[in-house]
Structure 1
Amino acid sequence: MLRSRARRFVWIPASIALALAGCSADAGSVADGAAGAAPAAQGAASAPTRTGTPQLRVSTVAAGLAHPWDLGLLPDGQVLVSERGGRLALVSGTAPGAIVTPVAADFGDVLVRGEGGLMGLVVHPDFAQSRRFTTCQTHTGGGGDVRLITWQLAVDGRSAARVADPLVGGLPVSPSGRHSGCRPTLAADGALLVGTGDTARSTVPQDLTSMGGKVLRVDLATGGPAAGNPFADAAAAAQRLIWTYGHRNVQGVAVRPGTGEVYTAEHGPGTDDEVNRLRAGGNYGWDPSQGGTVGGYDESVPMTDLARFPDAVPAMWSSGRPVEAIAGAAFIDGPQWGALDGALAVAALRGSKLLIMTLGRDGAVASVGVPIELDGTFGRLRAVRTGPDGALFVTSSNGSGDVLLRITPV
């Protein structure tokens, strides 16, 4: 069914954006959103520097999806959608009423448990020739891991076959599926960036021999480390893939047009979801083991623990309490967006909203806006991608009857 409305939305200075409310934790996550004792946000930004917004039009392109985790826009105008239960769908276009066709592919080894399953998806830049795309999944084999697998879509779009299985394997996975990540995005230079989760294991985020709680930077063709990685000479193969570390559960990765800067959206525990700007080799300060002094997974520690890690990279924005459970993220790009051109759009699962964040000259979040049309209207929101025409594409993630949305300025 088509939903198409034009509404204004209210700007909220980042300094008071901490009051944005939430309802329930991420599905499959027992502890996400549980009360914690971490201090108030360290990365909260100053008052907004820009005002004025265009009207927005939100249209339902397709409905009847189930936990659509990610999407990829194809050169011919169709959309690939990954569903967490181990399904891939091809949406016939980006106009309302598009036809959704299942894509036959072997997902028999997808471990669907908790937050795990078939997750992120990225379309290769040469798709028009190669018809290749890469997905991320929790995997049943060999004791279980998280894997990136490259596929080739048939010419008729009705099936896909594996061509690199895995492209990258051995990412850790939790028996419960908790904090599985896993968001792939192409960097400006063509490298594959992959945000991962710490699997709710206390030592993983600071362990440079583990790919959990990291952002990886991978050669899309070989699965090896991309040229210029900060730990390229490390003895451990996993460490050579690492771009940044000390993360909790990276759910969004976005590349800023014009600069190539990389921003991530990351789940906090009971406080401080974070938006981070990545710095090669940077430590983002999450350490629920407290240096190995606690045996369990201590979620009362700060998301960015500057006391333990004085050189940790501070967040560009923190939610404070309660968390929104922020997920997919993408930059808004195009002059048709007016004052929002260059803003960062971030989906919220718990908060059931889309957050529009403008950036100051220092790269920190200067203001946060919540479009009325996307404030609780479609429930939990997960994926956000920017189309070639500048439109935003967003998925809901409620479990059944989920939708693919197209958002444009009026």
Structure 2
Amino acid sequence: MRALLAGLVLVTAACSTPEPGGNAPSKAPAPQGLKVEEVAAGLEHAWDIGFLKDGSLLLTERPGRMKLVKNGQVTPVDIKLDDIQVRGEGGLMGLVIHPDGQRFTVCFNTTKDVRLTTYRLDGARATKTKDLVTGMPSNSSGRHSGCRPTLAPDGTMFVATGDIAQGRNPQDKASLGGKVLRIDAETGEGAKDNPFIKSPNANERRIYTYGHRNVQGVVVRDGGQVFSSEHGPDVDDEVNLLKAGANYGWDPSKGGTQGGYDESVPMTDLKRFPDAVEAVWSSGSPTEAICQAAFWNGKLAITALKGSKLMLFTLDGDGKVQNVSIPDELNDKYGRLRAARTAPDGSLYITTSNGSNDKLLRLTGDV
């Protein structure tokens, strides 16, 4: 595939450290020899990426389109997304390729819900096989729609969801909003060893963690640690190390006593929830609007929308952040960055999300 890619730019990377705030990291050694290649352009809010066995890839665009990138060509995928609603932050979002290399699951808003639907790909045509999960809450404005699926090594699927800006959802285990789910990738039911698997409520059986605001990324580290990346309100974007059954402390309803959506509460409210799990990193102020997360060359790579940068987190074995580096070549050079997926060849693919002439980029080199 490398020979098919155009627009190679070779640069020598530098790094900087975010402004102090939250869990401020130390300065990292400068990355060296980072290469940025433009694979495709002319996209619109490219939301997620999946790699096929023949070396080509699929990507989703929030306005409800899919593209197949193969042999240097970008081809629209013929797909029917039943009752899709594209508005604000909502539309066609996350994508995951199944191990058979023929099926994929996407997440999108409808007029009734946010849902996960599985399709089979034949050339550039996709045929629906089943709705995997329905009933995830959806805001008619599209706000805080989530929704990011990722396959785990054991074959289960993690699904990061947003709280749709409804205050009671994050702490309500009957709601799938403001959660990280873990489901059987074939049936959509809760994974058999989930923390609430004995609950009589099917939604609660799907829950892995709760008390989240608007999770934009979830990724599994070699060895089994699971991390999420999450939008804060006006402060405290968070990177969280997920623990099965844990509460991450977001509660804009203040225990159901507050109407509306009070965003002045802490992202992790330890006063209300003393056992809530604190973030391994938070942005403090200003927020970066961090987005998708992927492990790349041993580091946790996270894109930023508002921050218009790629953030590279060095973690220790316990999942604690040691330092953060920001490559200059992606620091406010391409605008808002959204998707991040590690390719089978070890490179990192990311997308821009500016709304017009968005790009698919491939990164290689030492970081």
What TM-score comes out, normalization by structure 1 length?
Answer: 0.86
> How far apart, CA to CA, are the structure 2 residues paired with 1:282 and 1:372?
36
**What is the aligned partner in structure 1 of residue 347 from structure 2?**
391
**What is the aligned partner in structure 2 of residue 207 from structure 1?**
172
**Match for 2:129: what amino acid?**
V
1:106 aligns with 2:111: no
Offset at 1:10? 1.4
Conservation of the 8 A alpha-carbon contact between 1:256 and 1:342: no
> How far apart, CA to CA, are the structure 2 residues paired with 1:3 and 1:180?
35
Conservation of the 8 A alpha-carbon contact between 1:45 and 1:365: no
The structure with higher relative contact order (CA 8 Å, sep 6+) is 1
Q: Name structure 2 gaps, 5 residues minimum.
A: 1-5
State, as a whole percentage, how many aligned pairs show the same letter.
56
**What is the aligned partner in structure 2 of residue 324 from structure 1?**
288
**What is the aligned partner in structure 2 of residue 338 from structure 1?**
none
> How far apart, CA to CA, are the structure 1 residues paired with 2:279 and 2:266?
12
> How far apart, CA to CA, are the structure 1 residues paired with 2:334 and 2:26?
29
Instruction: Report the 3-state secondary structure (helix = DSSP H, G, I; strand = E; otherwise coil) of the residue aligned with 1:76.
Output: coil
> How far apart, CA to CA, are the structure 2 residues paired with 1:85 and 1:403?
15
> How far apart, CA to CA, are the structure 2 residues paired with 1:66 and 1:52?
32
1:68 aligns with 2:68: no
Q: Aligned to 2:7, which of 2, 27, 51? A: 2
Offset at 1:342? 1.4
> How far apart, CA to CA, are the structure 1 residues paired with 2:31 and 2:145?
36
**What is the aligned partner in structure 1 of residue 121 from structure 2?**
153
> How far apart, CA to CA, are the structure 2 residues paired with 1:150 and 1:115?
22
**Match for 1:6: what amino acid?**
V
Offset at 1:322? 0.8
1:348 aligns with 2:353: no
Conservation of the 8 A alpha-carbon contact between 2:31 and 2:327: no
Structure with the higher fraction of residues in strand conformation: 2
After TM superposition, list the pairs within 5 Å mapping 1:31-180 onto structure 2.
Answer: 41=22, 44=23, 47=26, 51-93=29-71, 98-127=72-101, 131-140=102-111, 144-154=112-122, 157-164=123-130, 166-180=131-145
Q: Name structure 1 gaps, 5 residues minimum.
A: 20-39, 333-340
Q: Aligned to 2:200, which of 235, 247, 261? A: 235
Conservation of the 8 A alpha-carbon contact between 1:247 and 1:284: yes
> How far apart, CA to CA, are the structure 1 residues paired with 2:30 and 2:231?
29
1:274 aligns with 2:238: yes
Runs of 4+ in 1 over 6 A off after TM superposition: none
Conservation of the 8 A alpha-carbon contact between 1:45 and 1:316: no
Q: Aligned to 1:261, which of 220, 225, 228? A: 225
> How far apart, CA to CA, are the structure 1 residues paired with 2:103 and 2:25?
43
Offset at 1:47? 3.4
Conservation of the 8 A alpha-carbon contact between 2:45 and 2:354: yes
Offset at 1:375? 0.5
Conservation of the 8 A alpha-carbon contact between 2:160 and 2:218: yes
Conservation of the 8 A alpha-carbon contact between 1:45 and 1:364: no
Offset at 1:226? 1.0
Instruction: Report the 3-state secondary structure (helix = DSSP H, G, I; strand = E; otherwise coil) of the residue aligned with 1:238.
Output: helix
Offset at 1:188? 2.0
**What is the aligned partner in structure 1 of residue 3 from structure 2?**
none
Offset at 1:45? 5.4
Instruction: Report the 3-state secondary structure (helix = DSSP H, G, I; strand = E; otherwise coil) of the residue aligned with 1:10.
Output: coil
Instruction: Report the 3-state secondary structure (helix = DSSP H, G, I; strand = E; otherwise coil) of the residue aligned with 1:240.
Output: helix
Instruction: Report the 3-state secondary structure (helix = DSSP H, G, I; strand = E; otherwise coil) of the residue aligned with 1:7.
Output: coil
Offset at 1:89? 0.4
Conservation of the 8 A alpha-carbon contact between 1:45 and 1:366: no
Offset at 1:267? 0.3
Conservation of the 8 A alpha-carbon contact between 2:24 and 2:283: no
**Match for 2:337: what amino acid?**
L
Offset at 1:3? 4.6
> How far apart, CA to CA, are the structure 1 residues paired with 2:248 and 2:56?
37
Conservation of the 8 A alpha-carbon contact between 1:265 and 1:274: yes
Conservation of the 8 A alpha-carbon contact between 2:29 and 2:325: no
Offset at 1:254? 1.1
Offset at 1:5? 2.5
Map Cα deviations across residues 139-189 of structure 1 (whole Å, 9 max, x no partner).
12xxx10000000001xx22100001x110000001211000000001121
Offset at 1:18? 3.7
Instruction: Report the 3-state secondary structure (helix = DSSP H, G, I; strand = E; otherwise coil) of the residue aligned with 1:239.
Output: helix
Offset at 1:11? 4.4
Output the aligned Cα RMSD.
1.4
**What is the aligned partner in structure 2 of residue 406 from structure 1?**
362
> How far apart, CA to CA, are the structure 2 residues paired with 1:361 and 1:385?
22
- Number of paired residues? 361
Label 1:306 to 1:176 Cα distance change in 2 as closer, same or farther (>3 A): same
> How far apart, CA to CA, are the structure 1 residues paired with 2:210 and 2:81?
30
**Match for 1:311: what amino acid?**
D
Offset at 1:401? 0.4
Conservation of the 8 A alpha-carbon contact between 1:244 and 1:284: yes
Q: Which moved more, 1:225-234 or 1:358-367?
A: 358-367
**What is the aligned partner in structure 2 of residue 216 from structure 1?**
181
Instruction: Report the 3-state secondary structure (helix = DSSP H, G, I; strand = E; otherwise coil) of the residue aligned with 1:9.
Output: coil
